[in-house]
Homo-oligomer: A and B are copies of this chain.
Amino acid sequence: MPSSNDFPSANGPRPSTPTFFNNSFLNLEPGNPTMYESYWKKMGDKCTVVIKGSELLSYMTDENNVCWFMLPELNDAIERLHRLVGNAVTDGKHVVVGTGSTQLFQAALFALSSSDDSPQPLNVVAAAPYYSEYREEVEFLQSKLYKWAGDAHVYDKDEPCIEVVTSPNNPDGTLREPVVKKAKQGKLIHDLAYYWPHYTPITHMADHDIMLFTFSKCTGHAGSRIGWAIVKDKEVARKMTRFIQMSSIGVSRESQRRAAKLMEVVCESYENVKHIKSENFFHHSKDMLTEKWVKLREVVEQSVVFSLQKYPEGYCHFTGEISEPRPAFAWLKCNNGIDDCESYLRGLSIIARGGKRFGADPKYCRVSMVGKEDQFNELLRRLSNVTGNSKNEH
C-alpha cells in the first residue's frame, strides 16, 4: 500500500521497509536529505555539540527578543548565514524559530488570519503544482480562521487570500512569483526552503514579508526539526511566536544549539581563506547535485518513456557562476500514453509521489534527488532498464 504522504501512513498498515536490493522497493517518495550525511562525516569533530545535563533547562531563553524561546546564538548564526549566502535580507527584520518550517507555515497562517477582520475563513492558495502537504496542513484541524482554496492560478473569488509562494518550487524546482492578482491578494507567505546555492543560482536577495527556511533542506539535518521565519512586521512575528507558544511552548534548545553550531561551521569554512572552496558545504553539495542531475538527464534523454523539463540558466551571486538549477526533486514526466507515472514507477519498484498530490497531472511524479548515493544509482539503473525505454532500440 502506498504511503498517502511524505511519511508512514497513519491510515493503514505501512509497507515493510523498502530497500533497494533484489528489486525490492526503492523509496524516493519523501525528500529525506540523507545525501548530506557523508559531508558531515568528513567534517569530523568540529561539528560535534556537547551539552551538559545542567544546561538549557529553562522555558525562557531571550526575553528581549520577540521570539523569546530562541537561543541568541541561533539568531546570530541564521543572520550570519544569510549574509554569507546573500539569499535573504535580514536587516531590520525579526527571526522566529520553529519546530521545522512546517510549524512556521501554520504559525504564519495563524498570524495572518487571526488579524483578518472577515468572519469567513481566509482562503489559502498556492499555484499548482504545489507542495503536497500544504493542503493537509491547512485542513487537518478544520480551523475557522483559514481554509484551503486550491490552485492559485484559478483563484477567482472576490475574497482576500493568503498565497503561498514556493521558490524554488517543490515539486518542480521552478522559480516562482505570486500569481493571484494584486486586487484580491491579501497576504503572502514565501516558502524559500530550497533557495540555497546548492539547489539554485542565488540571483537576488529575497526581501518579502514572511520568508520561511528550514535547516532540513539547507544542511540536511531534518531530524533536528529546526526552521526559521524572517518576518518584516513585528506584530506578525509576535503572533507567530504566540502560535508556537500555544502549540509547543517553544522549540528544542538542543536542536537550536546544534543548528547554530553547524551554521557557524559552514560560515567559518567560507571565511577561512585557506579552505578549498570545493570542500565547503554549499560548493560540495552543489557538485554532488550537479553530478546527479547530469547522470539523470543522460538516462532520461535516452528514454522514450520519461522526460524532464529544462531550467533556464542563472547567474549565482554566491558562487559567481552561471548554471542551471539542481533541484532537490526530479519532476519526472511519463510520455508514450502512460497516464499514471506513480503506478508506472511502482511497476519498476520505485516509490515516488504522484502528480495528483501536487494538484497536477498524474503523468508527473516527484522523485527525491537528496537521498544517498547508492539509492540514486539504483534509481538510474531501474530507469535505464525499462523495456522499450531506449530511443536507440530497434
Q: Is A182 an interface residue (CB 8 A)?
A: no
Which of A14, A106, A216, A252 has the most CB atoms of chain B within a 10 A radius of its CB?
Answer: A252
CB–CB A7/B59 < 8 A: yes
Q: Give the size of the chain A interface in residues (CB under 8 angstroms).
A: 81
Asked if A51 meets B49 with Cβ closer than 8 Å, knowing A103-B248, A254-B252, the reply is yes
Q: CB-nearest residue of chain B relative to A39?
A: B54
Q: Please tell me if the beta carbons of B57 and A223 are within 8 angstroms of each other in the complex.
A: yes
Number of chain copies forming the complex: 2
Bound CA span A128–B254, Å: 35
Instruction: Report if A255 contacts B (CB, 8 A).
Output: yes
Cβ-defined contact, B249 with A6, below 8 A: yes
- A7 near B68: Cβ-Cβ < 8 Å: yes
Does A276 reach chain B (CB closer than 8 Å)? no
Interface residues as binary, A11-42 with B (CB distance below 8 Å gives 1, 0 otherwise): 00010010000000000001011101110110
Q: Is the CB of A100 within 8 A of B58?
A: no
Other-chain contact of A48, B50, B98, B110, B140 (Cβ < 8 Å):
B50
Q: A residues near B, CB below 8 A?
A: 5-8, 10, 14, 17, 30, 32-34, 36-38, 40-41, 43-54, 56-61, 63-64, 68, 98-100, 102-103, 106, 110, 133, 136-137, 140-145, 216, 220-226, 238-239, 241-243, 245-255, 257-258, 262, 265
Known: A32-B58, A99-B251, A100-B249. 16 other contacts (CB 8 A): A8-B60, A10-B241, A14-B63, A17-B64, A30-B59, A32-B59, A40-B54, A41-B53, A47-B54, A49-B254, A51-B258, A102-B247, A102-B249, A142-B143, A223-B252, A254-B257
